[in-house]
Amino acid sequence: MSDTQLLPPGARSATAAGLTEAARRGEFALQVCPSCGTVQYPARDVCGHCLHTTLNWKPVADTGVLRATTTLHHSNEPYFQARLPWRIGTVQLDCGPFAIAHLPEGGQADEKVRLSLELDAGGVAVLVARPAP
């Protein structure tokens, strides 16, 4: 297996680079529309609510509710194949949007979670949710 197969998939849009920058700073930041205040996730070029074309990266509430979970038992990606089973979940963030997040420490539906932006083995930000203390 080549070294590139040992890394998670790295394809991200240029717009999503803000997530990686926030993770490097140790912040939980998402795009916030200065016109209507809508918090955006996933990262995008225009506001999904009012179509404003300038979205600012700002720290937002890092809490939410885990709405659903699943465990992956198959992947076409060599990185994930070596780490199966892999748990993920749908989180309704308290600041508004829904997101798919990695669940490294369990978690059940309707449980409060705390989210973080963490750098994966390839140096790219991923969302991680853990049960809230």
Which pLDDT does position 14 carry in this prediction? 83
Which pLDDT does position 5 carry in this prediction? 54
pTM for the model: 0.88
Q: Name the region of 47 (left: φ>0; alpha: ψ -120 to 50; beta: rest).
A: beta
Which pLDDT does position 122 carry in this prediction? 87
Contact 115, 60 (CB under 8 A): no
pLDDT beneath 70, residues of the chain: 1-5, 10
Which pLDDT does position 10 carry in this prediction? 67
Helix (H) or strand (E) holding 16: none
